[in-house]
């Protein structure tokens, strides 16, 4: 299965506690570097750029569907969970 999803998305079977080392609410930073090997740059909660991610806390992220609509995620116990309403979570599946 493609190297067990590239060793569980780059973690190489190590226990992950964070997904990247980015400072929260920073723009133009490389997000999720501990789990993916392609580039996803951050936006911040001022710019709120559509189609982009913002790191809101050490383990929380927002994905902006538009400047006034975002989906909240949290990394808890090794699982990336959608914390918004079921309707919003389903919008980006």
How many structural domains comprise the chain?
1
Give the model confidence (pLDDT) of 34-84 as tens digits.
989 999 999 999 999 999 999 999 999 999 999 999 999 999 988 999 999
Q: Identify whether 12 is part of a domain.
A: yes
Give the model confidence (pLDDT) of 24-37 as tens digits.
999 999 999 998 99
Q: Identify whether 74 is part of a domain.
A: yes
Q: Identify whether 90 is part of a domain.
A: no
DSSP state of 44: -
- Of the candidates 59, 57, 54, the one whose C-alpha atom is nearest the C-alpha of residue 81 is 59
Asked if residues 92 and 65 have their Cβ atoms less than 8 Å apart, the reply is: yes
Q: Identify whether 15 is part of a domain.
A: yes
Coil/strand/helix, residue 90: helix
47 Ramachandran zone, left/alpha/beta (phi>0; psi -120 to 50):
alpha
């Amino acid at each position: 299965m493609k190297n067990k999803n590239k060793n569980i998305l780059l973690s190489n079977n190590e226990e992950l506690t964070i997904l990247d080392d980015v400072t929260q609410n920073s723009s133009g930073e490389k997000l999720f570097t501990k789990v993916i090997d392609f580039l996803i740059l951050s936006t911040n909660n001022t710019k709120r750029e559509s189609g982009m991610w913002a790191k809101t806390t050490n383990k929380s992220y927002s994905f902006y569907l538009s400047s006034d609509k975002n989906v909240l995620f949290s990394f808890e116990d090794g699982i990336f969970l959608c914390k918004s309403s079921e309707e919003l979570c389903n919008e980006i599946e």
